[in-house]
Amino acid sequence: MTETLPLNKTLTMNLLYKYRPLNDLLFKELYYQELYFSSYSELNDPLDLSVRIEFRPTEINQIESLFWFLFKTTLKISPEKIADNEKLNNRKLLAFNKNKKLRTVYKELLFDKLNQLALNQEFISFDKLENILLSTSNAIPFKLDISNFQVEIKRLTTKFLENSYITCFSERNDNFLMWSHYASKHYGICLEFTLENSGLFPYKISKYKNHNKEEYLKRISERQVEETIFWERIGKVKYQDKQPYINFFDFIPVFDNEYDCDLIGISKGWVHEYAYELENAFLTKTTPWAYENEWRGININFDERKDPEERIYHYPLECLTGIYFGMRTPEEIKKRIYKIFNRYHTQNIKYFTCIPISGDKLAFKNWEYYNE
């Protein structure tokens, strides 16, 4: 008996969907219940996971943090030979740094210039900051190395703002464009996950309890496997006209402590607020993407870049409750996918196939495995 499901089956506080393309990796992902967390460079939106930095100070003492980065990127301390003009510039910089009166005058000047700009500029970009630094260069007796400052800011941006990872879901399983863009033009599939804890997604870690050489050497041996289930936040994406940004001065404790082991492990309480702020930024996309009705699992990473195999998570089979086949999914592919999960003898997973009901509308009907 065929049952056609109602149109617009969407998130009811606990249903999320994940579109998957038809390729060789799909069967591996299903067999091992894998979720891949994508990096900045792997996403189809070039603005995604690339939060901008703005330079709007809220209090004058924040300019001291800007001084620190400007001065350390200007001062030449390379063990290689330093040119005479660089030595002279170093001496002038160090003398200026010790002169409290001159530092105060320059600090007030930069603060005033940035605040004047903020009166009619919503976003103070690096280019605007550079223009202010160049226009006030006669207020200091040495030459700033703005180019090196830019390189350092870009390095830190890449490490902390473009080095996290996401896995994506949708509230909808019937979006015609999503099937085209993310499910191989309707040859792919869509997975349905039922979340028992609202706002949290379950993952699992499996490992052998022990490595027993004696058991290993037997022709037949049973080995116990320990499995840990943990739930992590999953967030709804919000859409707005402009790309999100973070404030340079707010993130100074992160940028200035990049090798702090507790920062990398995100175990200190004072670090969490920065991870949360970045997470919120990664849950913001521009309005052209609103049709995706996206939710995200986000892995904030303040450590070195992770290899692709380090970004594979696994989900418990209990949360996978449905598999939807596209309009063009071949029958042999449907059967192959069914066999992957049938080995568990689970009754938890239901199977459906898409049927078009108009030029851009989809409904679903039950699909059952059959032997030819």
In whole angstroms, what is the distance from residue 240 CA to residue 282 CA?
12
Nearest of 296, 247, 297, 294 to residue 274 by alpha carbon? 247
**In this predicted model, which residue has the larger pLDDT, 216 or 132?**
132
Q: Are the C-beta atoms of 226 and 206 separated by less than 8 Å?
A: yes
**In this predicted model, which residue has the larger pLDDT, 323 or 84?**
323
User: Who contacts 153 (Cβ-Cβ below 8 Å, separation ≥6)?
Assistant: 53, 69, 126, 248
Q: What is the CA radius of gyration of the chain?
A: 27
Q: What is the DSSP string of 95-158?
A: HHHH-HHHHHHHHHHHHHHHHHHHHH-S---HHHHHHHHHHTGGGSSS---HHHHHHHHHHHHH
- What are the Cα distances from residue 322, in Å, to 185, 191, 232, 347? 20, 6, 21, 10
In whole angstroms, what is the distance from residue 352 CA to residue 363 CA?
10
Q: Is the pLDDT of residue 210 over 80?
A: no
**In this predicted model, which residue has the larger pLDDT, 358 or 136?**
136
Averaged pLDDT for residues 155-169 = 89
Q: Which H helix or E strand runs over 176?
A: helix 176-182
Most confident stretch, 47-56, 159-168, 252-261, 331-340: 331-340
**b/e for 267-293, b at 16 or more Cβ within 10 A?**
eeeebeebbebbbebbbbbeeeeeebb
End-to-end CA distance of the chain: 18
Mean of per-residue pLDDT scores for the chain: 89
Q: What is the DSSP string of 314-335?
A: E--GGGEEEEEE-TT--HHHHH
Q: Is the pLDDT of residue 1 over 60?
A: no
In whole angstroms, what is the distance from residue 35 CA to residue 42 CA?
15
Give the model confidence (pLDDT) of 217-268 as tens digits: 888 888 777 889 999 999 999 999 988 889 999 999 888 888 887 777 776 6
Nearest-5° angle of CA 15, CA 21, CA 24? 125
In whole angstroms, what is the distance from residue 271 CA to residue 225 CA?
34
Averaged pLDDT for residues 56-69 = 95
Give the model confidence (pLDDT) of 13-54 as tens digits: 589 999 999 999 999 999 999 999 999 888 878 777 778 899
Q: Are the C-beta atoms of 346 and 336 separated by less than 8 Å?
A: no
In whole angstroms, what is the distance from residue 352 CA to residue 367 CA?
5
Give the model confidence (pLDDT) of 172-200 as tens digits: 999 999 999 999 999 999 999 999 988 89
